[in-house]
A and B are shown apart, each in its own frame.
Chain A
Amino acid sequence: MIILKNIHKRFGSKRVLDGVNLTLEEKRITTIIGMSGTGKSVLLKHIIGLLKPDAGDIFVDEMPIARMREEELNRKVRIKMSMVFQEAALWDSLTIFENIALALRIHKHLTSPEIARLIHENLELVDLRDIENAYPIELSGGMKKRVGIARAIAIRPKYLLYDEPTTGLDPINASIINKLIVRLNRELSITSIVITHDIGSVSKIADRIAMLDNGKIIVDIAKEQMWTHDDPTYINFIKGHIGVIP
């Protein structure tokens, strides 16, 4: 379980997170929604330790991680947590095979045939075949995101963080990614935290929905309450996205 307690973060004079409290339950898909620029990605980067909060703490499996040093984060946290980046962030000087193999080579003591088998398995899981020798620049946006997911699940993480996984994709590729997020959650029991402002995606994948606004979590509800919750900011956001002028 991941618990965020009273997280504050400023960049210069701009207050981005202003006392965020949130509990992310295991084996569930929690979507964090909010307008662009509200700090959703900043929040995600705090969970994996890429950013440190100015105040407050984050507990991953009861371990406080906010003051951990980089080496300790690597050893205790990032070994069971992965992140899928908005633009996939594939290493463009490496082939797809090497992109997925890199973390396996460094962290797992596996033989080359074992690594090759695992890479093949992971690419199969995201419905990609025969692209091991391609470079990221040769792939479409949707394929890059799926390779990003294959790379992230290679170490079989307990927690998987997605930063706007469907942004910039056409509806068909967005649907493929949504189905994949649900399948990985169900088949591999991965606890998923998905940052998005795509309400279509939220309705398809979420078990829980949290909304970030003005640096605070203003809504934290189960999927069943998605269309019935009465917070006005939340309603405006949802209606805005389905084309109803508030």
Chain B
Amino acid sequence: MIKHFLETYGRAGKTFFTYYGKLTKMSVQSFLAIRKLHIYRPQIIDEFMVIGRRSFPIVSITAIFMGLVLGVQIGTQMGSMTAKYVEGGLVLRAILLEMGPVITAVVIAGRAGAGIASELGTMVVTEQVDALRTMAIDPIEILVMPRLIAGIFAIPALTVFSNIFSIFAGFVSTKFAINLDYDGFVKGMRMAFHGHDVFISLSKSLIFGIVLILLSCFWGLNSGKGARGVGLATTSAVVSSLIAIFVLDYIISALLL
């Protein structure tokens, strides 16, 4: 009984530490590979297009509806005792501090993260990664580092657009929900705004971006065999990215707010 318990949990512990060891090693190698950035400039531009431009429509749509819902929810929850203009500030801070960076990262994890994991997984299964190694090309340098750099720039940029669209959509829905005019909404935003909020918003998006790109690459490069292996790697990439985003969101909020 005790032996079985120790064996089971020992094996699980070993797997856990092996995976995290590999992930840490890959992450360090990816950052060290930035010194060869000049060689892989075309790959970085390609990846920026994949992660940034192609995620833009879905991020925009999500941001607009998130803002609309937020405007309605806050508007209807506020009682008649609260001044209407306060809603401008509530929408602004909710979006900048939480909804903007978190929802954008979640959408990118589902769209770009899944794409990265399945693409790299397929490359592993079809020996394309081995082909890189046989040609003395480090897979981390050519496959992970360009995606990491692209993510570092693309994800905060997408978050900025997401914030802008959400705030605008929040204003539109507030207008319809509680008939708050433009001047009142802006007054509320001005009263609630702190420059620090922008810093937190961008810091969160940057950290979420780095983590989700590294996790997606890691699961892709460690994909099992066959279609099932690639499918599992993709699922693991998305699930672990989502968990990491929410855990980190709490930690960053607790530390910076």
- Determine if chain A interacts with chain B: yes
Residues of B within 8 A of A50 (CB): 130, 133-134
Q: Decide: A48 and B128 in contact? CB cutoff 8 A.
A: no
B131 within 8 A of A: yes
Q: Decide: A92 and B130 in contact? CB cutoff 8 A.
A: no
Q: How far is the CA of A90 from the CA of B109 in the complex (A)?
A: 27
Residues of A within 8 A of B134 (CB): 48, 50, 78, 81-83
Residues of B within 8 A of A106 (CB): 39, 136-137
Q: Decide: A89 and B39 in contact? CB cutoff 8 A.
A: no
User: What 1/0 mask marks residues of chain A from 123 to 153 whose CB sits below 8 Å from any chain B CB?
Assistant: 0000000000000000000000000000100
Q: How far is the CA of A241 from the CA of B136 in the complex (A)?
A: 37
Q: How many A-B residue pairs have CB under 8 A?
A: 55
Residues A47-80 near B (CB distance < 8 A): 48-50, 70-71, 73-75, 78-79
User: What 1/0 mask marks residues of chain A from 76 to 117 whose CB sits below 8 Å from any chain B CB?
Assistant: 001101110111011111000000001101110000000000
Q: Decide: B135 and A85 in contact? CB cutoff 8 A.
A: no
* A192: min CB distance to chain B, Å: 15
Residues of B within 8 A of A151 (CB): 135
Q: How far is the CA of A89 from the CA of B130 in the complex (A)?
A: 8
Chain B residue nearest in CB terms to A81: B134
Q: Decide: B136 and A89 in contact? CB cutoff 8 A.
A: no
Chain B residue nearest in CB terms to A41: B127
Q: Decide: A89 and B135 in contact? CB cutoff 8 A.
A: no
Q: How far is the CA of A49 from the CA of B131 in the complex (A)?
A: 12
Q: How far is the CA of A161 from the CA of B140 in the complex (A)?
A: 24
Residues of A within 8 A of B136 (CB): 73-75, 78-79, 103, 106-107
Q: Decide: A92 and B137 in contact? CB cutoff 8 A.
A: no
A212 within 8 A of B: no
Number of chain A residues whose Cβ lies closer than 8 Å to a Cβ of chain B:
29
* B128: min CB distance to chain A, Å: 5
Residues of B within 8 A of A49 (CB): 133
With known contacts A89-B126, A106-B39, A83–B131 Cβ distance under 8 A: yes
Chain A residue nearest in CB terms to B141: A106
A33 within 8 A of B: no
Q: Decide: B127 and A103 in contact? CB cutoff 8 A.
A: no
B7 within 8 A of A: no
Q: Decide: A91 and B135 in contact? CB cutoff 8 A.
A: no
A155 within 8 A of B: yes
Chain A residue nearest in CB terms to B119: A93
Residues of B within 8 A of A93 (CB): 119
Chain B residue nearest in CB terms to A91: B128
Q: Decide: A89 and B127 in contact? CB cutoff 8 A.
A: yes
* A5: min CB distance to chain B, Å: 22
* B59: min CB distance to chain A, Å: 23
* A147: min CB distance to chain B, Å: 12
Q: How far is the CA of A151 from the CA of B127 in the complex (A)?
A: 15
Q: How far is the CA of A79 from the CA of B132 in the complex (A)?
A: 12
Chain A residue nearest in CB terms to B36: A106
Residues B78-119 near A (CB distance < 8 A): 119
Residues of B within 8 A of A86 (CB): 127
Q: How far is the CA of A50 from the CA of B127 in the complex (A)?
A: 11
Q: Decide: A155 and B128 in contact? CB cutoff 8 A.
A: no
With known contacts A79-B136, A103-B136, A107-B136, A91–B131 Cβ distance under 8 A: yes
Q: How far is the CA of A87 from the CA of B126 in the complex (A)?
A: 8
* A122: min CB distance to chain B, Å: 14
Q: Decide: A89 and B128 in contact? CB cutoff 8 A.
A: yes
A92 interface neighbour in B128, B132, B133, Cβ under 8 Å: B128
User: What 1/0 mask marks residues of chain B from 13 to 52 whose CB sits below 8 Å from any chain A CB?
Assistant: 0000000000000000000000000010000000000000
Q: Decide: B128 and A90 in contact? CB cutoff 8 A.
A: yes
B interface, CB within 8 angstroms of A: 39, 119, 123, 126-128, 130-138
A interface, CB within 8 angstroms of B: 45, 48-50, 70-71, 73-75, 78-79, 81-83, 85-87, 89-93, 102-103, 105-107, 151, 155
Name the 10 nearest CB pairs between A and B, nearest first: A74-B136, A89-B131, A78-B136, A89-B127, A103-B135, A83-B134, A85-B127, A89-B128, A48-B134, A91-B128
**What would 21 A/B residue contacts be, using CB atoms closer than 8 Å?**
A48-B134, A50-B133, A50-B134, A71-B138, A74-B136, A78-B133, A78-B134, A78-B135, A83-B131, A87-B127, A89-B127, A89-B128, A90-B128, A91-B123, A91-B132, A92-B126, A92-B128, A93-B119, A103-B136, A106-B39, A155-B135
